[in-house]
Chains A and B, each alone.
Chain A
Amino acid sequence: MKNKQSSVDDFLDLSSLLTGFDKVDLQGTGLAEIYRKEVLGIIGAQITTEIEKAGTAIYRKYRNREKLMEEAVRTEILSHAVLGPLAKNITSMWYLGVWNQMPQAWLDHVGIKQTAPSHVISADAYKESLVWRVVGSHPPGAKQPGYGTWSLPPKTR
């Protein structure tokens, strides 16, 4: 693995793997840099870079080979004692706009003494959460869908 500084692009590779959304859709939320900064601030550069490197390697190696990619994410990231819990947190951050406090056992394991409590990351994080797209809805109170559109039949694929 190359020892270069990781970047937002690496974070996007990782995020695309974890969320199942295309990078272009994640960029479209305008949150990639904000989320990356959040992770860096809470977890620190060392583990953040480690998970980004792992993600970007899998992303590049198995792009368009979904099954192999999924397997690699499971074995190399999700099952990893250090990276696994963090990956789950990054996934829920994209879907819910929320940072969940890391479990005490994990913090002890990696040696982080103080950590951020659970919180909503920003007003935009709520608006652009992926969960709204998945359920085919909109964030109540933001991104209005147009008066009366609730009476239209739901979109079917």
Chain B
Amino acid sequence: MINRLASIRPGIKNIDDLRAHLQIAIELEHSTIPPYLCALYSIPDGMNVQAAQVIRSVVMEEMLHLTLAANILNAIGGSPDLDNPDFIPGYPTRLPDSSAHFKVHLERFSKRAIKTFMKLERPAKAGAMPEADNYQTIGQFYAAIEKGLKEICRHNRHFNRDRSIQVKPEHYYGGGGGVIVVDDLDSAMEAIKVIVAQGEGLDHTLFDGDRKIFGENREFAHYYRFNEIRRERFYSDHDSVKSNPSGAPLTVDWDQVYPMKINPRAADYPEGSELRRKSDEFNVGYTTLLKNLHDTFNGRPDWMMKSVGDMYKLKYLAVELMRVPCNDKGETAGPAFEYQKAE
């Protein structure tokens, strides 16, 4: 993904730049979802319940962010593109960190995976602005979009006000917060605020802003939620961004996990083998989901329902793969998240 983030020149000078940035925002939000899902689905039902809930809450919010970025792009006359081999990063992928680039794998729930997730979600320094040559952090990237929206779309310029192409709350359920229908600058800024606040924390506190924005019970930003798993302890009322959590214990059994091999691929298995068939089935299902989401964000918001059905099917298929032994190291197969059209 860093390739995509690096491929775009920082700074937004016109509406095309702004649309290009929002397309990359959609890709960025998506790129974290397969790694989070691998960790989540590798936890068998009923095991590590608290940790699973934390990861699930984060991944639901990434899906919300993807939808919000698509709504903004739609509102300013763009066309989100999800049905495309380049849309999927290919794992392991590299993502930017504030200091260095690092690799993100498709891997089972583990301490190492949680540490990577924390790097992914590390908040930017307050007021961080883009560097001259490229974006160093996701925070900088969204700061540029905010600035671009304010400048290019001043006085609600470029907004098509076509609510029929927006994904609305009645299409979206299951948590992560509410969808915002974007039809002017204020609602676009509100949507960006949700993306940044949930991911990085609002105004550099532990909290993600859901209470302020959605009136929900307070919830911590992603980085801090992952830190609770890593430290096996919840934050207490007295903790701050600078301290580690010191509240009630969060019980983690790092061994209660399907032993999925790292970065599974369909090509790991010979053509014609049963595992290849099942791995292909996942990839084709995933590619179909991207196509359905593409259509959802391009004029058929009611298709979100169909897409959610696809997501459940993929979940069950991913878990099935994770139960199938695939090598003599005692590891199991897993979902590859590769672009593969049905034959």
Point out residues on A near B: beta carbons under 8 Å. 22-25, 27-30, 124, 143-149, 151-152
Contact = CB atoms under 8 A, between A and B. Distances in A.
A12 B81 CA distance: 43
Interface size class of B (residues with CB under 8 A): 20 to 34
A37 to B, nearest CB: 16
Contacts of A151: 305
Given A143-B316, A147-B173, A24 B309 contact: no
B231 interface: no
A29 B309 CA distance: 20
Interface stretch (B32-40, B175-183, B259-267, B318-326): B318-326
Contacts of B309: 145-146, 149, 152
A24 B312 contact: no
A24 B311 contact: no
Interface string B301-313: 0000110110111
Given A28-B278, A29-B320, A146-B311, 17 more contacts: A22-B274, A22-B277, A23-B274, A24-B277, A24-B278, A27-B323, A28-B319, A28-B323, A30-B323, A146-B312, A147-B305, A148-B305, A149-B305, A149-B309, A151-B305, A152-B306, A152-B309
Interface of B: 45, 173, 274-275, 277-278, 305-306, 308-309, 311-313, 316, 319-321, 323-325
B324 A27 contact: yes
**Of listed A23, A30, A146, A149, residue having the most chain B CB within 10 A:** A146
26 contacts: A22-B277, A22-B278, A23-B274, A24-B274, A24-B277, A24-B324, A25-B274, A25-B320, A27-B323, A27-B324, A27-B325, A28-B278, A28-B319, A28-B320, A28-B323, A28-B324, A29-B320, A29-B323, A124-B45, A144-B312, A145-B312, A146-B311, A147-B173, A149-B309, A151-B305, A152-B306
B219 to A, nearest CB: 23
A14 to B, nearest CB: 16
Grouping DSSP codes into helix (H, G, I), strand (E, B) and loop, the A interface class, with mixed when no group exceeds half, is loop
Give me the 9 closest cross-chain CB pairs, A-B, nearest first.
A28-B320, A24-B274, A146-B309, A149-B309, A146-B308, A30-B323, A27-B324, A148-B305, A22-B274
Nearest to B321: A28
A152 B173 CA distance: 18
B67 to A, nearest CB: 16
Nearest to B46: A123
Among A24, A29, A148, A149, residue most surrounded by chain B Cβ atoms (within 10 Å): A24
A145 B315 CA distance: 10
Contacts of A22: 274, 277-278
B305 A146 contact: yes
Nearest to A27: B324
Q: Which of A23, A143, A148 has most chain B Cβ within 10 Å?
A: A148
A57 to B, nearest CB: 20
A59 to B, nearest CB: 13
A147 B170 CA distance: 11
A149 B306 contact: yes
A25 B278 contact: yes
Contacts of B313: 145
A155 to B, nearest CB: 10
A143 B278 CA distance: 19
B156 to A, nearest CB: 34
Nearest to B310: A146
Contacts of A146: 305, 308-309, 311-312
Contacts of B324: 24, 27-28
A151 B309 CA distance: 11
A28 B325 CA distance: 9
Contacts of A27: 323-325
Contacts of B316: 143
B43 to A, nearest CB: 13
Contacts of B308: 146-147, 149
Nearest to A127: B45
A36 to B, nearest CB: 15
A142 to B, nearest CB: 9
B305 A24 contact: no
Contacts of A152: 305-306, 309
